Structure 1
Amino acid sequence: MRSPFDILEAYERRSLAHAVQLPERSYSQDVWRGVGYRVGSRHLVSDFREVVEIVPMPPVTPVPGAQGWLLGVGNLRGNLFPVVDLKYFLEGERTAPQEGQRVLIMRQAGGDVALVIDELYGQRSFEQQLEVPAADIAQGRYAHFVERAFDDDGRRWGVFSLSLLSRTPEFRQAAA
């Protein structure tokens, strides 16, 4: 008599013999990929390597004496992190709170930071031939963080560098 383990092993062998293999997926080196989102009227994308996580807006505890763009401190799975209104930091205008609002979690020296955005679009991929000058998106404070852009069916997407943002002295100094 066969053991239960032998029976399960036989089931597995038969199952794997009939498994359909998915085609191997290869990505072109000429495609740029990132996370798409909106801040104000600008459509932006950031490299996947710069976004740690995307989560719903956490409850925020205000921090006295902080810059206006620092909304306060949030808690995600027991980890405390600053919550920054990205639109307020870049444009001087508050992001309107909305139900289901998301934040991008980015890594910086000293810990993660949550960035409040207006709208999340998810993964975006752009062929290199869609690259266009970033001049119309890279205006004002955006000029420091947007060096390239892509045109996708008439919509301009500025590539926003979160790593540059995290190294900006003004961003790192949130005390008023």
Structure 2
Amino acid sequence: MSDFIIFNVANKPFAVHFSEIDEIQAAVEGTPLPFAEPWHGGVANIRGGLYTIINLRKKFNLFGQAPDSYQKIILLRQAKVALLVDDIENTASIEEADIEPVPDSTEKDIFHQAFRLDNRVIPILHVTLFLASTKTI
């Protein structure tokens, strides 16, 4: 059994494994850095640590209804990175046998696996590959 947090970005669900997360909290505004990528949300001092904020809407090129004031950040365990998401939907405990290769996707380099829940396919963010794609590790 694997445990996941399900989060939404532009009304699309994604998952990240519990073991990859240090904490989830209300979003904070980052201090912009010059010459940063468009998806870079700046840096923020969170509990004495300097975190890079990555705006997943911009990173995944997802647009739609603008998020409200309830945005969250997911603090990752592997690096001082905070993922800016629209909201946290739920948790899910998934049997290993129910995790499958992700269907065709333009982001297959960071989403290798997915699971089905409530008639939806929920891609699982591969944190190590994601961080490598952002050059934050």
The CA distance in 2 between the partners of 1:101 and 1:39, in whole Å, is 10
2:136 aligned with 1:160: no
Bigger shift: residues 152-161 or 91-100: 91-100
Q: Are the aligned partners of 2:6 and 2:13 in contact in 1 as well (CA < 8 Å)?
A: yes
Aligned residue for 1:60, secondary structure, equals coil
Amino acid at match of 1:139: S
Q: Which has the higher contact order (CA 8 A, sep 6+)?
A: 2
The CA distance in 2 between the partners of 1:87 and 1:43, in whole Å, is 12
2:82 aligned with 1:114: yes
2:104 aligned with 1:104: no
Match for 1:53 among 20, 23, 31? 23
Aligned residue for 2:74, secondary structure, equals strand
Q: Which runs of 5+ in 1 are unaligned?
A: 1-30
Aligned residue for 2:60, secondary structure, equals helix
1:129 Cα offset (Å):
4.5
Q: Are the aligned partners of 1:36 and 1:43 in contact in 2 as well (CA < 8 Å)?
A: yes
Amino acid at match of 1:162: V
2:54 aligned with 1:89: no
Match for 1:150 among 115, 119, 133? 115
Q: Percent identity?
A: 25
The CA distance in 1 between the partners of 2:30 and 2:38, in whole Å, is 14
The CA distance in 2 between the partners of 1:160 and 1:57, in whole Å, is 20
1:40 Cα offset (Å):
2.7
More strand by share: 2
Amino acid at match of 1:62: P
Q: Are the aligned partners of 1:59 and 1:75 in contact in 2 as well (CA < 8 Å)?
A: no
Q: Are the aligned partners of 1:145 and 1:162 in contact in 2 as well (CA < 8 Å)?
A: yes
Q: Are the aligned partners of 2:10 and 2:64 in contact in 1 as well (CA < 8 Å)?
A: no
Q: Which runs of 5+ in 2 are unaligned?
A: none
2:90 aligned with 1:127: no
1:158 Cα offset (Å):
1.1
Aligned residue for 1:98, secondary structure, equals coil
For residue 6 of structure 2, what is the aligned residue in structure 1? 36
Length-normalised TM-score, structure 2: 0.84
Length-normalised TM-score, structure 1: 0.68
